[in-house]
Structure 1
Amino acid sequence: MATMEHGHTDGTHTHVFLGSDHERNERRVWMVIALTTVMMVVEIAAGQWFGSMALTADGWHMSTHAGAMLISALAYLYARKHAHDPRFTFGTGKFGDLAGFASAVVLGVVALLIAWESALRFVSPVEIDFNQAIIVAVLGLIVNIVSALLLKDDHHHYGHHQGHHGDDDNHDHGHDSHAHRHDDHAHGSHAHHQSRDNNLRAAYLHVVADALTSVLAIVALILGKWNGWTFLDPAMGIVGGIIIARWSWSLLRSTGAVLVDAMPQQRPLLAKIRGAVETGNENITDLHVWQVGPGHHAAIVSLSTTGETSAAAYREKLLEIEELSHVTIEINAAA
């Protein structure tokens, strides 16, 4: 067995699989936490004083989202501080997904609580000071818009593609029992442009959820003032809770998939790997691919071949694939 390193001149290697904009994203999350904390105090106090459930809901959303974003910020900090810690054998790139999963749970709990509190207001309505409540709700929306702009990542795409693949997509068992010939362990050093930072996405969704409740609060308050439709105030809370719950579920699925190494959107990457190494004499007998950080993937490739191609040659082919940062190759002689 031979072990070969890639991209380091001193014969060592690290497992740093952080996103390309890690520090920038961390700074922006801290800025949004500060903005959100100030506004949440104002909205909760104003909502209680003026009797608006929609405004109170918006304030409590802000308070819980500020806590959830604190999880995101601390995850960025911890992952950066421990990026070179050898205890993390595949680096700290997944801390963002862990924080995103926790944030998704918080988001879901908040959605249920807001919907429940709004339902109670149908039973026990309260008098609302519409003019004052509208002013505070508009201020909250402005803060949410500024926060969303800070957290919006123009370089990455946050689509909701949740692929469910069968076992044939994740591995192709049937290891050849012939003599093991060569092992190659390599690290890529590509720039990862089309990565998804689920930690930033979680913080962004919390801010968007706040913005949604602000908009719904403003609509409910304006219509309530003009037409006397006070029932819209709690109704908007229920609508907002349902929408936020859907966002929570989407975030749970995407972060959970990364945490259990069940990569979404894995088919194109698998096709690239097979296309790079299966050129005639080779056959992939076992293939595992998983995400180790935003834009970083690891792969274990087991080949059966009748040729004499070295593992180093296969390594060079695989390192041309931008998404791969950590590659282990095993070659077995074909019958």
Structure 2
Amino acid sequence: MSSKIERYSQEKRTAFVVVFAFCVMLAEIIVGLFSHSMALFADGVHMGSHVLVIGLNWAAYVLVRRLESKGTTRYDTEKILNLSAFTSGILLILTAIFIIVEAVERLTTHGEILNYELALITAGIGLIANTISASVLHGHHGTTDYNSHAAYLHVLSDALTEIGAIIGLFCAMLWDITWIDSAVAVVSALVVLRWAKRLLWDTGRSLTKL
């Protein structure tokens, strides 16, 4: 019974983070495009991966709850959650590749960053948003399974990329070193790739267990 209660609590926290992350994603992508900040745009895309990853996480909890309410034993509910996390890892790899391609294109075009102040404010808001999301997902008793733990680690990694985006913007604004902004975007993508690799490895081993 306690396991079901924990899952339901995690489901509610996850639903909140999905809606919250979606709002922040729109703000960062729009401001990133208008300010020509590749790092901020990349972080917005990465935040979009939150919506997909944590959205899958939330959907898995909903499915598991409904299956358990019907009393069916045909499905392994733990594997349903792990499969959701595994799928999230694949989506993150695709997101990271997209960010790297966009960053390289930005480097070759030598574009300028516009409206540093607005970009920095939005990046700061993103950092605060990820801190809030991490706190909500972790809750008072920590994460309860692979899915919730994966989502928690994902939000933490994005908070680190927010810090990198802020550093890149400051360097471009103070010393006109605009390539750092794109370099930070690549570093952000590498963080995503590392997280995705770990997620795929852990959940893959769990799914292959009999």
Normalising by structure 1, report the TM-score: 0.58
1:202, distance to aligned residue in structure 2 (A): 2.3
Q: Which of 63, 83, 99 is 2:68 aligned to? A: 83
Q: Which has the larger radius of gyration?
A: 1
What are the superposed Cα offsets for residues 63-91 of structure 1, whole Å, 9 maximum, x if unpaired?
22202211110100000110155654464
**SS state at 2:68 partner:** coil
Contact conserved, 1:47 with 1:133, CA < 8 A, in 2? yes
The amino acid of 1:52's aligned partner reads S
Distance change (3 Å), C-alpha of 1:149 and 1:112: same
- Identity between Structure 1 and Structure 2 (%): 33
**SS state at 1:219 partner:** helix
Long gaps (5+) in structure 1: 1-15, 158-195, 262-289, 291-335
Query: How much is the aligned-residue C-alpha RMSD, in angstroms?
Result: 2.1
Q: Which of 156, 173, 180 is 1:232 aligned to? A: 180
Contact conserved, 1:17 with 1:93, CA < 8 A, in 2? no
Contact conserved, 1:198 with 1:255, CA < 8 A, in 2? yes
1:156, distance to aligned residue in structure 2 (A): 4.8
The amino acid of 2:186's aligned partner reads I
Output the CA distance in 2 between the equivalents of 1:116 and 1:154.
39
Q: Which residue of 1 aligns with 2:136?
A: 150
Output the CA distance in 2 between the equivalents of 1:120 and 1:259.
38
**SS state at 1:122 partner:** helix
Higher helix share: 2
What are the superposed Cα offsets for residues 125-146 of structure 1, whole Å, 9 maximum, x if unpaired?
2111212111111111111110
**SS state at 1:126 partner:** coil
Give aligned pairs, total.
Answer: 209
Q: Which residue of 1 aligns with 2:50?
A: 65
What are the superposed Cα offsets for residues 256-294 of structure 1, whole Å, 9 maximum, x if unpaired?
111111xxxxxxxxxxxxxxxxxxxxxxxxxxxx6xxxx
Higher strand share: 1
Output the CA distance in 2 between the equivalents of 1:246 and 1:153.
25
1:41 aligns with 2:31: no
**SS state at 2:57 partner:** helix
1:220, distance to aligned residue in structure 2 (A): 0.1
Output the CA distance in 2 between the equivalents of 1:82 and 1:53.
43
Output the CA distance in 2 between the equivalents of 1:103 and 1:42.
23
Q: Which residue of 2 aligns with 1:260?
A: 208
1:134-173 matched pairs, under 5 angstroms: 134-152=120-138, 155-156=141-142
Contact conserved, 2:154 with 2:195, CA < 8 A, in 1? no
1:98, distance to aligned residue in structure 2 (A): 1.0
Q: Which residue of 2 aligns with 1:93?
A: 78
Contact conserved, 1:65 with 1:107, CA < 8 A, in 2? no
The amino acid of 1:22's aligned partner reads R
Output the CA distance in 1 between the equivalents of 2:16 and 2:140.
18
1:19, distance to aligned residue in structure 2 (A): 6.0
The amino acid of 2:151's aligned partner reads A
Output the CA distance in 2 between the equivalents of 1:246 and 1:34.
26
1:100-249 matched pairs, under 5 angstroms: 100-129=85-114, 130-152=116-138, 155-156=141-142, 197-249=145-197
Structure 1 stretches of 4+ moved >2 Å = 16-20, 84-91, 153-157
Q: Which residue of 2 aligns with 1:27?
A: 12
The amino acid of 2:133's aligned partner reads S
Could you say which structure has the greater relative contact order, defined with CA pairs below 8 angstroms and 6 or more residues apart?
2
**SS state at 2:202 partner:** helix
